[in-house]
Structure formats: C-alpha cells, structure tokens
Copies of this chain bind each other. A is one copy, B any other.
Amino acid sequence: MTTPSFAGNARWEQAAIVGVGLIGGSIGLALRRAGVARRIIGVGRSAANLQRAIACGAIDQLVLESAGELPEVDLVIVCTPVDHVAKHVAWWANSAANGALVTDAGSTKARIVSEVDAQLHEHNPRQARFIGSHPLAGSEKAGVEYARENLFDSRVVVITPTDRTPPSAIVEAQELWKSLGAGVIPMTPAAHDQAVAATSHLPHVVATALAAVTPPDLLKLAAGGWLDTTRVAAGDVSLWQQILLENREPVLAALAKIEEELHLWRRALEQRDAAAIEALLQQGKTIRDAVGN
C-alpha cells in the first residue's frame, strides 16, 4: 500500500451514505470513528445540507443525486425515507463496484426487502449484495446537525436476511453495524415489522394521541410523567406518516391490543374494581421493570 491512510484497517474503500440526516450523518461519524471506510461520500438532493454534513465531519465529499453519475463505491447505506429506498437501491445496483454491499436504514422492512429482492433478481449487472437493516436508534430531533458518532453504541440493529440474501452479505452487515457500536439481531422482514409495530410505532401513535387530547390550557400542569409519555409525539410528521402507512397492518394489530387493554381499564374503573386496577398496574409495571431505564 503506497498511499498513507487515515483508516489503516479500512474494510471498505468508499462508502456512500444516501440521505444524510440524523441517521445518515451519525453513520458517517461512526464509520469514521471505527476507521472502517477509507472515504465517505454523502449523496442527497440538497447541496446546503451536504455541506453541513461535511462541516460536521460526517462525510468527506458530496455528490448530488441530480448529478446523474454515481461514484464507484463498495458500500452503500440508503438512509432516505422508506418510500424511496427501493428506487435508490436500484440506481446503485447499476453503478456501485462489483459485489458492493448495499443496505438501508428504513424503519419498516417487508415491502422494501421484497421489492429490492425482486428488482435485483431481475437486474443486477454488478452483483450487488443487498440486505435490509434497521438501526433502532434515533430521536425526535431530525437533521444532520444532531448526528453523533455514538448514536448506535449499545443500540440494536435488526438485519433482515431472506432466502435471496447472499450469506456473505449477512456476515458483512453484522461486521458493519458492530463496528459502529451496535448489537445485531437477525429477523425475517415480516417478524421485524410486527415487532417494531409493538415497540416503536404503537408508542408513537399512543404518545401522539395522548398529546392531542390534552387541553392546551392545562399544559402549565404538565410534569415529568406527561413529558416522558408524550416525548416522541414531537417527531417528524411526514417521516412518521410514511412509516405508519407502510406498516399499517401490523400497526392496526398492535392498536387493537391496546384498545382492548384500555377497555379493561374502563371496566375496572367503572366498576371501582380495586383488584382489577391493581392487576392492570402490576402487569404493566412488571414488563416495564424488566427493561430498566
């Protein structure tokens, strides 16, 4: 090796991060911290946003989507909104280096993965190796200015291999996310979507509904409990609209469960049933206590 390199143990020569917001920017910073990518290219629609990403050290170089020509990279991480992921994977499958690892960071997986698998089965001139990913990290804050290199430390990333995923892509995606600080759990795309409906999407719906029914003149009384319980309702509206539409069936199933649970609450309160109220409180506390803070 003749060129001295910042990243001596680099696993990838050039990585493209497509969509450089909170998640994409944090991936850039964490890739840099790990030294596993020699060069990090940010791709997007807004030059101003990509300039900010360069300024905060998340990427080395910017490429505008509209440029038409995409750089030859051996790692692609698509961090766009969920309804654009499949399209971007298709573009990169035509231009990336032979055998590049291509993954995404979308919050839903079944439709994206089946669409991409079908696309690549039809047309994959450079043998791109795709595997779906979902880093369970984020914030109600959006934008590269909130990106941080430790966003994935001790967090979980679900990867969603299918029968069509090359085994080497499973191994390499695990290496990727572990190098960024996360633990990796493989699940099928459908199992993933059902799981996050319960652990992420339903909490978002419930927190938002709770905020919405709070009379604004009472907000002066909102203390820690209300603030915690409604925190995620501050999240980005169009991002969540897409996620909830994309995952509507598992979300509806999860919604039915909490509607039933609230019905039990209604009955217990209406009947002044102290034992039932205690049991309902204890069930929730037992599950919450199993996790900690």
Residue picked from A207, A210, A238, most chain B C-beta under 10 Å: A210
Question: For the complex, is A81 an interface residue (Cβ under 8 Å from B)?
Answer: no
**Do A212 and B287 form a contact, CB below 8 Å, given A199-B222, A203-B230, A230-B203?**
yes
**Contacting residues, chain B, for A231 (C-beta < 8 A):** 225, 228-229, 288, 293
**Contacting residues, chain B, for A225 (C-beta < 8 A):** 138, 199-200, 203-204, 207, 231-232
How far, in whole Å, are A73 and B144 apart by their CA atoms in the complex? 58
Q: Which of the residues B241, B260, B274 comes within 8 Å of A245, measured between beta carbons?
A: B274
Question: Chain A: interface secondary structure?
Answer: helix
Question: For the complex, is A114 an interface residue (Cβ under 8 Å from B)?
Answer: no
When the two chains form their complex, are residues B209 and A284 in contact, meaning their CB atoms are under 8 A apart?
A: yes
When the two chains form their complex, are residues B224 and A291 in contact, meaning their CB atoms are under 8 A apart?
A: no
When the two chains form their complex, are residues A258 and B213 in contact, meaning their CB atoms are under 8 A apart?
A: yes
- Tell me the A139-162 residues at the B interface (CB within 8 Å): 139, 155-156, 158
Looking at the assembled complex, report how far the CB atom of A101 sits from the nearest CB atom of chain B, in whole angstroms.
23
**Contacting residues, chain B, for A220 (C-beta < 8 A):** 156, 185
When the two chains form their complex, are residues A277 and B219 in contact, meaning their CB atoms are under 8 A apart?
A: no
When the two chains form their complex, are residues B285 and A223 in contact, meaning their CB atoms are under 8 A apart?
A: no
Q: How big is the A interface, by class?
A: 35 or more
**Do A221 and B270 form a contact, CB below 8 Å, given A213-B261, A285-B235?**
no
**Do A209 and B158 form a contact, CB below 8 Å, given A215-B198, A216-B287, A232-B229?**
no
- Tell me the A47-102 residues at the B interface (CB within 8 Å): none
Question: For the complex, is A118 an interface residue (Cβ under 8 Å from B)?
Answer: no
Closest to A244 in B: B277
**Contacting residues, chain B, for A289 (C-beta < 8 A):** 234
Q: Which of the residues B137, B235, B245, B288 comes within 8 Å of A234, measured between beta carbons?
A: B288
Question: For the complex, is A265 an interface residue (Cβ under 8 Å from B)?
Answer: yes
Question: For the complex, is A110 an interface residue (Cβ under 8 Å from B)?
Answer: no
- Tell me the A265-293 residues at the B interface (CB within 8 Å): 265-266, 269-270, 272, 274, 277-278, 280-285, 287-291, 293
How far, in whole Å, are A254 and B262 apart by their CA atoms in the complex? 12
When the two chains form their complex, are residues B262 and A255 in contact, meaning their CB atoms are under 8 A apart?
A: yes
**Contacting residues, chain B, for A210 (C-beta < 8 A):** 202-203, 206, 258, 284
Closest to A282 in B: B237
**Contacting residues, chain B, for A281 (C-beta < 8 A):** 208, 237, 240-241
Closest to A219 in B: B291
Closest to A203 in B: B229
Closest to A137 in B: B223
When the two chains form their complex, are residues A208 and B254 in contact, meaning their CB atoms are under 8 A apart?
A: no
**Contacting residues, chain B, for A272 (C-beta < 8 A):** 245, 248
Q: List 5 contacting pairs A-B, 8 Å CB cutoff, sorted by A.
A: A213-B260, A219-B290, A233-B285, A245-B269, A259-B259
**3 smallest A-B Cβ distances: which pairs?**
A208-B284, A211-B284, A233-B288
